[in-house]
Amino acid sequence: MNYQNNLEFARQLDKQDALQSFRNEFLIPQHKGKDAIYLCGNSLGLQPRAAKIYLQEQLTAWGINAVEGWFQGDDPWLAYHKKLSGPLAGILGANPSEVTVMNSLTVNLHLLMVSFYKPTGKRFKILMEAGAFPSDQYAMESQVKYHGFDPKDAIIEVAPRAGETILRTDDIVNQIEHYADDLALVMFSGINYYTGQFFDLQAITAAAHKAGAYAGFDLAHAAGNVPVKLHDWEADFACWCSYKYMNSGPGGISGIFVHEKHFNDDSLNRFAGWWGYRHDKRFLMAPGFKPENGADGWNVSTSPIMLMALHKAALEIFDKAGGLQPLRQKSLLLTGYLEYLIAEVNTAYGDDVYRSITPTDPEARGCQLSVVCKQNAKAIFNHLAANGVIGDWREPDVIRLSAVPLYNTFTDVYQTSQYLFSALQAVNSL
């Protein structure tokens, strides 16, 4: 698209946007009596208006039915989590039986590694990206220590080349091939939280399997943001959170994917709990764990219905929007427009003061642009916030801006660029 740096162009794009009405499905934070420009969906998505309704419905069911709510009412709780499997499967490119909702992200990562990190004397190493989100780093460190290994020996971190910020897929694959005889697991983010790079999960999975290792992914910044095909790519497992691009509330329920090829693999360990027991026999309370078929068999604890109600409210918006594909098309335009406008700001200012460290290839990124500020970075971020632009700060000099297609507009993006320019004027006049 031939973008233009003016408000009229942005407004025209908004008028042409077939998804524009979905903004009304969300509560927009206010700033001085007006809608704020919320570009922080990479950290916490906005609240769906329906969330309060769906939550109240379950509170009412609890009040009316008490314990019988597990079996009675319009949405009996016993099977409530299954209502979410279909929408999630569409977002994640999976079969419904391969996904389930449970726990929180890092808890799920640990539970999945019980099954898929199976170190031996020779194959005990984990390969991951350098600069992964700290929680993933801590999980890997603690897992290898639990098995008696030193993280310095057991964890291989793949970093960008000197002077680069983006990991080349060839370098990842080459490292997997180099350590092929030593690898037990290749564990990557779907999208790196800091740079916004969308990794080639298909290529990583194929390389891991060729090396004889499992392939697993943390999709915290990818789920609901970019299209993935976990089943077709034959990823072994994945987990994600729901409070970012899936708008399911702070600390919202997480989920897991387990490829169906593992459903009947009795060699996989798992930490069992009664909610993963065979549904048809669960209430017999018999000794000896017999898992439910599919990803549901990795469940441990009773479903948190209130969290799932919030998740259901958000997932139904994805269904109304026609799934991830139309959202992805708008996302490409929104992020492309922001990228263009940042370049225009640099030109107008006469200096490349803003530099994106997110891939320039639209297919290698999602909604997020991570922008390095060459000068007065924190003051620029504060100027944006003072003018109602809610982004995300990362030390020492990065502002993450994420234009989400469900509720952000092209006008939001244009106005943000104006504040990026006025911030330079303001902070450099001090």
Query: What percentage of the chain reaches a pLDDT higher than 70?
Result: 100
**Residue 303 shares a structural domain with residue 344:** no
pLDDT digits (tens, 9 = 90+) for 368-397: 999 999 989 999 999 999 999 999 999 999
**Long-range CB contacts for residues 145-154, cutoff 8 Å, separation at least 24:** 147/117, 147/119, 149/119, 149/124, 153/125, 154/119, 154/124, 154/125, 154/126
Could you give the CA distance from residue 260 to residue 231 in angstroms, rounded to a whole number? 8
Whichever domain contains 387, its CATH number is 3.90.1150.10
In a domain, 42, yes or no: no
Reply yes or no on whether the pLDDT at 60 is more than 90: yes
What is the total count of domains within the chain?
2
Same-domain check for residues 265 and 372: no
Comparing CA positions, the residue from 342, 423, 405, 388 lying closest to residue 38 is 388
Do 316 and 330 reside in the same domain of the chain? no
Q: Does residue 278 share a domain with residue 341?
A: no
Determine the Cα–Cα distance for residues 348 and 343; give it in Å rounded to an integer: 9
Residues 150 and 61 reside in one and the same domain: yes
- Among residues 260, 291, 320, the one where a domain terminates is 320
Q: Looking at 320, 351, 375, which one is the last position of a domain?
A: 320
- For CA atoms 284, 286, 292, 295, the dihedral sign is positive
315 & 332 share domain = no
Whether pTM > 0.85 for this model: the answer is yes
CATH of the domain at 187: 3.40.640.10
Same domain assignment for residues 159 and 263: yes
Q: What is the pLDDT of residues 76-111, one digit of tens each?
A: 999 999 999 999 999 999 999 999 999 999 999 999
Residue 143 burial class via C-beta count within 10 angstroms: exposed 0-12, middle 13-18, buried 19 and up: buried
Task: Give tens-digit pLDDT for 302-346.
Answer: 999 999 999 999 999 999 999 999 999 999 999 999 999 999 999
DSSP secondary structure, 304-357, as one string: -HHHHHHHHHHHHHHHHTTSHHHHHHHHHHHHHHHHHHHHHHHHHHTS--EEE-
Q: Model confidence at 164, in pLDDT bands (50, 70, 90)?
A: very high
Q: Is residue 30 located within the same domain as residue 99?
A: no
Q: Alpha-carbon distance 8 to 17, whole Å?
A: 14
Give domain status of residue 408, yes or no. yes
Nearest to 390 by CA among 419, 359, 422, 366: 419
Q: Check whether residue 140 and residue 15 sit in a common domain.
A: no
Whether residues 267 and 370 share a domain: the answer is no
Domain range for 373 is 7-35+323-428
In a domain, 41, yes or no: no
| Domain boundary, last residue among 271, 294, 320 | 320
Residue 43 lies in a domain: no
Residue 58: predicted pLDDT = 97
For residue 45, being part of any structural domain is answered with no
